[in-house]
Amino acid sequence: MGVTVDVAYKSLNKFTEVLCGDKVELLQTEDSNIMILADGMGSGVKANILATLTSKILGTMFLNGATLEECVETIVETLPVCQVRQVAYSTFSILQVFNNGDAYLVEFDNPGCIFVRNGELVPIPQNIREIQNKKINEYRFKVKKGDALILMSDGTIHAGVGQLLNFGWLWDDIADYAVRQYRVTISAARLAAAISRACDELYQFRPGDDTTVAVMRIIDRKPVHLMTGPAQDAKDDRGMVDDFMSGDYTTKRIVCGGTSANIVSRILEKPLKVTLDYYDPDIPPIAYIDSIELVTEGVLTLNRVLKLLKRYVKNEAVTEEFFLELDKPNGASMVAKMIIEDCTELQLYVGRAINSAYQNPGLPFDLGIRQNLVEQLKHTVEEMGKKVSITYF
């Protein structure tokens, strides 16, 4: 059985710093997902460069099948040496989960990975190997559906040190909190946000160190099909709808677009029911078609969806408020929520037809930007570590 992952992370910058000294890389190979967290020494620009170099080198080399020894050697030889401390240093954790359920964890000097299974904490055994004078812990294991794995930078265990807590937030206490949050959150995004929020509070919203929480949850595949825009040639309508309706019972389907919704309704011979409930003055109400999860207006809704997803990917302000926004019943929040929390791969079915009425310069918004929105959507969702493909009609 193939496993799929839901990945998300959240970073807090050290108070007053513009750049974060922690860096997370999310990568995919043909048969695995990789999550890398690097924490560069110090803070600000220097730390950011160290962490970025480390995570990028590890990611690129791993993708190309290099051994751990080769990766570590390259990092040691490449990182610039700090003028003050005379060392080149960045800690890192690597988690690779293969589609067949095999998992590989590598840890160097970060707080240990928190591993939750069936609502219980699972200890990760010590298996230390020395490479280039660095003590590196390696662990090979099998993951199961429902498992959660949490990588952290040391900003988490230092949260509140000397202020609210004498010795910071101890690993055992974070793990305990993570287990409790694991039970009440469904997505990786919410679990990462909950832990990072707790750190922020312990720091009294002035983090003394860059703080990052990266979460991987093992889940079932969750394909989402999104159709937007009518086909350039109306003869292709049926083919487009057939493709859009392909998939199995796990596939969720979204239609974004009034004309598209009419086409789907006509071809499936199922009525389209449009509501009049405005939950947001800028987003037209949603509609219903039996067997389609979500039906919304097109370009205005997608524009807002993209804004929400970009906010999420940029990792700025992904707080409780962001999730409250995501839980709102307007079409855009509903689409964004499904893509962030209920989707592992996104298949876009995009029509290229141009509505001549949209070329009207009297409209306060350029409605002829569907393809541009779709391309941006693809890049943004890919940055979230999900597979995206587009079929044009």
Partner 1 sequence: MKVTICIGSACHLKGSREIIAQLQNLVKERHLEKQVDLNGSFCSGNCVNGVCVTIDEKLYSLKPEDTKEFFETEILGRL
Smallest separation (angstroms) from partner 1 to the CB of 278: 5
Smallest separation (angstroms) from partner 1 to the CB of 188: 33
* Binds partner 1 by CB under 8 A, chosen from 298, 330, 340, 377: 298
| Phi and psi torsions of 189, nearest 5° | -60, -45
If the CB atoms of residues 217 and 304 are measured against partner 1, the closer one turns out to be: 304
Smallest separation (angstroms) from partner 1 to the CB of 265: 9
Restricted to residues 352-371, the positions that interact with partner 1 (CB under 8 A) are 355-358, 360, 363-365, 367
Amino acid letter, 118: N
Stretch that binds partner 1, among 113-121, 202-210, 258-266, 381-389 (CB under 8 A): 258-266
Restricted to residues 105-164, the positions that interact with partner 1 (CB under 8 A) are none
Residue 320 C-alpha from the chain's centroid: 16
If the CB atoms of residues 266 and 379 are measured against partner 1, the closer one turns out to be: 266
Smallest separation (angstroms) from partner 1 to the CB of 235: 18
Residue 330 to residues 150, 275, 276, 296, 317, Cα–Cα distance (Å): 32, 11, 11, 9, 20
| Phi and psi torsions of 201, nearest 5° | -65, -40
Restricted to residues 212-231, the positions that interact with partner 1 (CB under 8 A) are none
If the CB atoms of residues 60 and 371 are measured against partner 1, the closer one turns out to be: 371
Residue with tokens 């689409």, as numbered in its chain: 335
Q: Is 372 in the site for partner 1 (CB under 8 A)?
A: no
Smallest separation (angstroms) from partner 1 to the CB of 351: 13
Smallest separation (angstroms) from partner 1 to the CB of 360: 7
If the CB atoms of residues 21 and 258 are measured against partner 1, the closer one turns out to be: 258
As a whole number of angstroms, the distance between CA 85 and CA 41 comes to 10
Smallest separation (angstroms) from partner 1 to the CB of 104: 48
Q: Is 285 in the site for partner 1 (CB under 8 A)?
A: yes
- DSSP secondary-structure letter at 108? E
Radius of gyration, CA atoms only, the chain: 23
Q: Is 261 in the site for partner 1 (CB under 8 A)?
A: yes
Residue with tokens 């960045």, as numbered in its chain: 90
As a whole number of angstroms, the distance between CA 29 and CA 112 comes to 25
The residue count for binding partner 1 (CB under 8 A) is 27
As a whole number of angstroms, the distance between CA 239 and CA 254 comes to 17
If the CB atoms of residues 26 and 334 are measured against partner 1, the closer one turns out to be: 334
Smallest separation (angstroms) from partner 1 to the CB of 361: 12
Concatenate the DSSP letters of all residues of 82-132 into one string: PTTTS---EEEEEEEEETTSEEEEEEESSPPPEEEETTEE-PPPP-EEEET
- DSSP secondary-structure letter at 165? B
By the 10 Å C-beta count (0-12 exposed, 13-18 middle, 19+ buried), 259 is classed as: middle
For residue 345 the two structure tokens come to 């791969």
If the CB atoms of residues 222 and 253 are measured against partner 1, the closer one turns out to be: 253
* Binds partner 1 by CB under 8 A, chosen from 14, 297, 306, 315: 297
The total of other beta-carbon atoms located within 10 Å of residue 242's CB is 10
If the CB atoms of residues 358 and 392 are measured against partner 1, the closer one turns out to be: 358
As a whole number of angstroms, the distance between CA 244 and CA 290 comes to 15
* Binds partner 1 by CB under 8 A, chosen from 262, 319, 371, 376: 262
User: In three state form, how does the secondary structure of 189-200 look?
Assistant: HHHHHHHHHHHH
Smallest separation (angstroms) from partner 1 to the CB of 257: 8
For residue 10, is it left (φ>0), alpha (ψ between -120 and 50) or beta?
Answer: beta
Point out which residues bind partner 1 (CB under 8 A): 257-259, 261-262, 272, 274-276, 278, 281, 284-285, 287, 297-300, 355-358, 360, 363-365, 367
